[in-house]
């Protein structure tokens, strides 16, 4: 199951770049290059070969882990990716934690007061959150948090864990807010579902206090299902980091992708689309494993 998808990812990434109008060689060399120079460059990049050979070369580059060589940086794409991957992963994890921290209290209140005013208000609050465009939210937060209050820098990364926790807060918050509304919705639904379960009645009948029943039985079991929600949405979370990274000048994979698109650095674009998709597939796999470890019922299957 995994291997055909990975192959498909390389094929799709390869084909995407084939539809690029114009000659990437001419674009890179400028108008002053002679026909011989262009032909030499084309040979060097392997663009004179038939399509299937070009694909096999690309596939070899993917399998050996180099993903081709950047036209702009003159470095293997894999090196660029490895430099930036930790930053994007950290941002994605940070934003997920922020999203969870925001969603959890609201989901609990909404589930406990379902159908009442608090539930309705919370639902509208999250509708408003998801309706605000993230790239605009970045600027509003820069305007308020950086320019007016001076609490956060306007962008970039620092050194050390604590400094980055501070510097990446605004970008992580933007991604986290959109994640929060997804988590809140599903967690609320799961909490309400779980409250009706028989084992909750059993726990109550054993004489546990309402707080113990909620914390130990209802909340804990509902949170497990949130793992799989995050897994399904991982592609959304990682996609969200792309735009935010560019605006906050965070040197991660997303800003690399947008820079590569703007400079038409096709090996980087191609390599990065493969890396993004593989990242999503791997994180999905990891959340599946985490879910089965946390939920004994899934382990039985």
Partner 1 sequence: MTPLIRRFVRSPAGIGGLAMLLALAAAVVVTPLISPYDPYALDFGNALMPPDAAHWFGTDNFGRDIFTRIVAGAVYDLRLATTCVFGPMILGILIGLCAGYYGGWVDDALMRITDIVWAFPFYVLVLTIVGVLGPGEGNLYIAFFMVNWIGYARIVRGETQIIRRLEYVQALTILRFGPARTMLRHILPNAVTPAVVYSMSDLVLTVQAVAALSFFGLGVQPPAPEWGLLIVESVDYMRDAPWMTIFPGLAIAWVGVAFALLGEGLATAMKPKG
Residues in touch with partner 1 (CB under 8 A): 4-5, 8-9, 12, 16-17, 19-21, 127-128, 130-137, 139-140, 142-143, 147, 235-236, 238-240, 242-243, 246, 257-258, 261-262, 266, 269, 272-273, 276-278, 280-281
Query: In the complex, what is the shortest distance from the CB of residue 131 to partner 1, in angstroms, rounded to a whole number?
Result: 3
User: In this complex, which beta carbon is closest to partner 1, that of residue 184 or of residue 221?
Assistant: 184
Query: In the complex, what is the shortest distance from the CB of residue 183 to partner 1, in angstroms, rounded to a whole number?
Result: 15
Segment holding 275, helix H or strand E: helix 266-294
On whether the CB atoms of residues 238 and 69 are closer than 8 A, the answer is no
User: In this complex, which beta carbon is closest to partner 1, that of residue 92 or of residue 103?
Assistant: 92
Query: In the complex, what is the shortest distance from the CB of residue 247 to partner 1, in angstroms, rounded to a whole number?
Result: 9
User: In this complex, which beta carbon is closest to partner 1, that of residue 8 or of residue 105?
Assistant: 8
Go through 279-288 and write b for each residue having 16 or more CB atoms within 10 A of its CB, e for each that does not. Answer: bbbebbeebe
- Cα separation of 240 and 206, whole Å? 46
- Cα separation of 8 and 170, whole Å? 35
User: In this complex, which beta carbon is closest to partner 1, that of residue 98 or of residue 182?
Assistant: 182
Query: In the complex, what is the shortest distance from the CB of residue 276 to partner 1, in angstroms, rounded to a whole number?
Result: 5
Compute the residue count for the chain: 301
- Cα separation of 124 and 275, whole Å? 37
User: In this complex, which beta carbon is closest to partner 1, that of residue 165 or of residue 289?
Assistant: 289
Q: List strand residue ranges (DSSP E) for 205-293, in order.
A: none
Instruction: Give CA 220 to chain center in angstroms.
Output: 25
Query: In the complex, what is the shortest distance from the CB of residue 284 to partner 1, in angstroms, rounded to a whole number?
Result: 8
The single-letter DSSP state of residue 31 is T
């Amino acid at each position: 199951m995994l291997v055909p998808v990975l192959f498909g990812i390389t094929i799709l990434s390869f084909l995407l770049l084939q539809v690029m109008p114009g000659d990437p060689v001419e674009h890179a060399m400028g108008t002053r290059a002679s026909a011989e120079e262009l032909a030499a460059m084309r040979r060097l990049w392997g663009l004179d070969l038939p399509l299937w050979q070009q694909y096999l070369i690309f596939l070899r580059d993917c399998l050996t882990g180099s993903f081709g060589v950047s036209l702009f940086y003159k470095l293997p794409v894999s090196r660029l990716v490895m430099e930036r991957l930790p930053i994007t992963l950290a941002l994605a994890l940070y934003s997920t934690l922020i999203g969870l921290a925001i969603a959890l209290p609201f989901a609990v209140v909404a589930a406990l007061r379902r159908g009442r005013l608090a539930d309705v208000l919370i639902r509208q609050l999250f509708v408003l959150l998801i309706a605000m465009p993230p790239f605009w939210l970045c600027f509003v937060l820069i305007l308020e948090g950086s320019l007016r209050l001076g609490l956060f820098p306007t962008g970039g990364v620092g050194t050390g864990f604590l400094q980055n926790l501070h510097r990446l807060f605004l970008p992580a918050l933007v991604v986290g807010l959109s994640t929060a509304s997804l988590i809140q919705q599903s967690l609320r639904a799961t909490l309400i579902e779980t409250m009706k379960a028989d084992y909750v009645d059993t726990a109550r009948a054993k004489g546990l206090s309402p707080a113990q029943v909620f914390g130990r039985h209802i909340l804990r079991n509902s949170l497990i299902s949130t793992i799989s929600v995050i897994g399904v949405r991982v592609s959304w979370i990682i996609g969200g980091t792309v735009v935010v990274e560019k605006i906050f000048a965070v040197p991660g994979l997303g800003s690399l992708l947008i820079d590569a698109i703007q400079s038409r650095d096709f090996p980087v674009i191609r390599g990065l689309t493969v890396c993004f998709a593989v990242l999503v597939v791997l994180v999905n796999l990891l959340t599946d494993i985490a879910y089965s470890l946390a939920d004994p019922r899934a382990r039985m299957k």
